[in-house]
Amino acid sequence: MIRYLKILVVTSSSAYELAKDVIKEIKGHEIDVCKLSHPVASLMTTSYIAEELSGKVSERYDYVIVPGLAIGDASILKNVVGTEVIKGPKYLGDLPDVIKFLESGVKFSTTQSADDIIKDYLATKYGSEFNYLIELKQGFDLSGLKIPLRPPPICLMYEVVMRDEGDYAKVLDRIKKASKQGADLVVVGLPVNHRVSLNTLKKLFQEVKSHLGRPVGIDVQHEDLIDYLEVDPDIIMNVDLNNIHLLSDYRDKPLVIIPAAGTSVDYSRSIREAVNEAVKSGFSKIIIDPLLKPLQLGFTESLVNYYNVSKEFNYPIMMGLSNVYELFDVDTHSVIALLTSMAMELGVSVLLITEESRKSVNSLVEAVKAREMVYRAYFRKSPPIDVGVDLLIVKEKRGRGARIPEVTVDTHVVSEAVPPKIDDEYYFKIYVDEVRKTIVVDVHDAKTDECLKRYVGDKATSLWRVISKHFPTLSEDHYSYLGYELCKAEISLKLGRSYLQDYPLFS
């Protein structure tokens, strides 16, 4: 039963109109908005809010919600307002979701923003439900990892390509990073026309298994598959009717079965023959990959194949998402979110993710988030919208900006480009270190071009403040230019885009 609540929402002066618009969406409760004089919520302290509210809250509320970005512990407000106080969401647009959780009695915090609490709450709630579902739907155990017959849950398989001996350190680092980011199992791929020594590969597999505790599979794209099985992989990828007979000594290994090369008409028949041969040969742990085709090259047909395979076979199913997003010149996050949701509907319980091109970097993180969105939608029995998690990286679902007030002062329209006045004494060169995830600022002598000092950090405002203290004689124009370029560099860093000083960030 939904509780009727009387709530006071405390907000900054600049966000007041937006707050009033947002609460219009919330039905069934009495919600008032209290406007403070400070214009920026992130610069408010809870002690400041306490002073502002002192003696002004005469009505009795069930909750007083202060901005999630406010600095400090909001518990000091309880005696001031005489009721329960919580930190709200960081963005007012998320307030309706927070109210929904308050209705059901979810406890929020005086120190942590409400949207963070919702994330933790859902993770705990869904975790117990996932464990129950795994027991019901378990296909088989893969070196301690439970592979579900049908989703949810969905296992994320991360494949990294190893082309030669020199790739060892890079591949190991990528596998370690992927394990931290949420990969459930990893696969080492050996492409056609590339060879890696067996000893190097054994060393890599032992390192991953002993220190990361993740199952490791192997994907060999040439005829030397049998030789490489000496590394003792936990799963063997891309097995078809043409090479199953070579694997008779590895019946305990799980297989990923694909249609035979050249199959173009009856995928189900090709897979059926391969599965029957595998079972006849003594294999019991099987994952079927009907192969997702690229867009314009059979994508829709392959979705039909996935549907048919899901209905016909009682084995877990895998889908390689990179077959689409690597061959599609759009940002990966939306494509991955869509494919993950489609995979859930099609009964796919294993998703393969790769990051072999620059534009696909961070695809694993995007898949982890997409999976969480799909999980929440599944349990809510709704589309993946308003679930508390999203992949809206550049665009947004609802406006959160402050409404522009009417003013009576003169308005100056600036339409022409105004060049900055740069100092004669110093100039700056700004770079983004994509490996260390930092911004690098070199200060040069304008007369000699000598680099005088280097600054490194990942926050534009902090870099600007430190540099401005060390070089207090710069003109206001030069300070403004520096701040503008540093902000561009920070956005580049967060989005994984290239940064070039004095060039537009977006085309």
The average pLDDT across 42-51 equals: 91
Q: Which band of pLDDT confidence, cut at 50, 70 and 90, is reported for residue 371?
A: very high
- Report whether 481 contacts 420 (CB < 8 A): yes
Tell me the whole-structure pTM to 2 decimals.
Answer: 0.72
- End-to-end Cα spacing for the chain: 51
User: How far, in Å, CA of 140 to CA of 69, rounded?
Assistant: 45
> Bridge-partner residues for 156, per DSSP?
351
**Residue 105 pLDDT > 90, yes or no?**
no
What type of residue is 86?
I
User: How far, in Å, CA of 333 to CA of 337, rounded?
Assistant: 6
pLDDT, position 335:
97
Name the CA dihedral angle for 117, 119, 122, 128, rounded to a multiple of 10 degrees.
-100
pLDDT tens, 249-300?
899 999 999 998 765 557 778 899 999 999 999 999 999 999 999 999 999 9
Segment (H or E) for 18: helix 16-23
- Report whether 253 contacts 272 (CB < 8 A): no
DSSP class of residue 168? Answer: H
- Report whether 317 contacts 287 (CB < 8 A): yes
* CA 407, 91, 43, 11 torsion-angle sign: positive
The average pLDDT across 19-36 equals: 89
pLDDT tens, 59-104?
889 999 999 989 999 999 998 998 999 999 887 777 888 898 888 8
**Residue 136 pLDDT > 60, yes or no?**
no
